[in-house]
Chains A and B, each alone.
Chain A
Amino acid sequence: MYAYDEYDQAIVDQRVSQFRDQVRRRIAGELSEDEFRPLRLQNGLYLQLHAYMLRIAVPYGTLSSAQLRQLGYIARRYDRNYGHFTTRQNIQFNWIKLEETPDLLADLARVQMHGIQTSGNCIRNITADQYAGAAADEIEDGRVYCEIMRQWSTFHPEFSFLPRKFKIALTGSPNDRAAVRVHDIGIRMHRNAAGEIGFEVMVGGGQGRTPMIAKTIREFLPKEHLLSYLEAILRVYNQFGRRDNLFKARIKILVHEIGVEKMRAAVEDEWQQIKDGPLVLPQATIDAIAAHFAPPDYRPQAAEQPEVERLRRSDGEFALWERTNLFPHKVPGYVIVNASLKPEGLAPGDATAEQMEIVADLADRYSFSEVRVTHAQNLVLPHVAVKDLPEVWRRLREIGFATPNLGLITDIIACPGLDYCSLANARSIPVAQRLTHRFSDLARVHDIGELQIKISGCINACGHHHVGHIGILGVEKNGEEFYQITLGGSADQDASIGTILGPAVSSKAVIDAVDNLIGTYLDIRQGRETFLHTVRRVGVAPFKERLYATA
Chain B
Amino acid sequence: MPLLKNGKEVEDPWHLAVDGDALPVNGPVIVFLARWKAEREALLRRNIGVGVRLKNTDKVAELADDLDRLGVVALEFPKFSDGRAYTQARLLRERYAYRGELRATGNVLPDQLLFMHRCGFDAFEATDPRVLRNWENVVGAFSLFYQPTGDGRATVNGLRQTRAASDNEGSR
Residues of A near any B CB (own CB < 8 A): 5, 7-8, 10-11, 14-15, 17-18, 38-39, 121, 151-152, 154-162, 235, 238-239, 243, 273, 277-279, 284-285, 288
Contacts and interface: CB of A to CB of B under 8 A. Distances in A.
Given A7-B156, A157-B119, A239 B147 contact: no
B112 to A, nearest CB: 8
Instruction: List the 5 shortest-distance A-B pairs measured between CB atoms, nearest first.
Output: A161-B83, A157-B118, A278-B148, A157-B115, A158-B86
B87 A7 contact: no
15 contacts: A5-B160, A7-B160, A11-B144, A38-B81, A151-B156, A154-B146, A155-B115, A155-B147, A158-B83, A158-B147, A159-B83, A161-B81, A161-B83, A238-B87, A284-B164
Contacts of B84: 238-239, 243
Give the dominant DSSP class at A's interface: helix
A273 B119 contact: no
B4 to A, nearest CB: 18
A278 B111 CA distance: 27
B109 to A, nearest CB: 8
B142 A160 contact: no
A14 B145 contact: no
Contacts of B142: 11, 14-15, 18, 155
A162 B147 CA distance: 17
B156 to A, nearest CB: 5
B82 A8 contact: no
B141 interface: yes
A159 B83 CA distance: 7
Contact of A285 (B112, B115, B157): B157
B70 to A, nearest CB: 21
B143 interface: yes
Give the dominant DSSP class at B's interface: helix
A270 B94 CA distance: 13
Contacts of A162: 83
A184 to B, nearest CB: 16
A158 B86 CA distance: 5
Contacts of B148: 277-279
B95 interface: yes
Residue with the highest number of chain A CB atoms closer than 10 Å, among B83, B87, B112, B156: B83
B83 A238 contact: yes
Nearest to A14: B142
Contacts of A238: 83-84, 86-87
Contact of B143 (A14, A38, A279): A14
A39 B111 contact: yes
Interface in B5-33: none
Contacts of A157: 86, 114-116, 118-119, 147, 149
A459 B149 CA distance: 38
Interface string B59-99: 00000000000000000000011111011001000010000
Given A158-B90, A243-B84, 13 more contacts: A11-B156, A14-B144, A38-B80, A151-B156, A155-B142, A155-B145, A157-B114, A158-B149, A160-B83, A161-B86, A238-B83, A243-B82, A278-B155
Contacts of B90: 158
Interface in B131-167: 141-149, 155-157, 159-161, 164
A7 B83 contact: no
A521 B145 CA distance: 55
Contacts of A18: 141-142
B140 to A, nearest CB: 9
Contacts of A161: 80-83, 86, 112, 115
A121 B81 contact: yes
A151 B156 CA distance: 9
Contacts of B156: 7-8, 11, 151
A152 B145 CA distance: 9
A154 B116 CA distance: 15
A17 B142 CA distance: 10
A18 B81 CA distance: 20
Contacts of B147: 152, 155-158
Nearest to A279: B148
B104 to A, nearest CB: 12
Contacts of B145: 155
A154 B155 CA distance: 12
A7 B86 contact: no
Nearest to B148: A278
Contact of B141 (A14, A151, A284): A14
Given A5-B160, A18-B141, A151 B83 contact: no
Nearest to B114: A157
A181 B161 CA distance: 35
B122 to A, nearest CB: 14
Contact of B119 (A10, A11, A154, A158): A158
A161 B56 CA distance: 13
A10 B143 contact: yes
A238 B57 CA distance: 11
Contacts of A15: 142
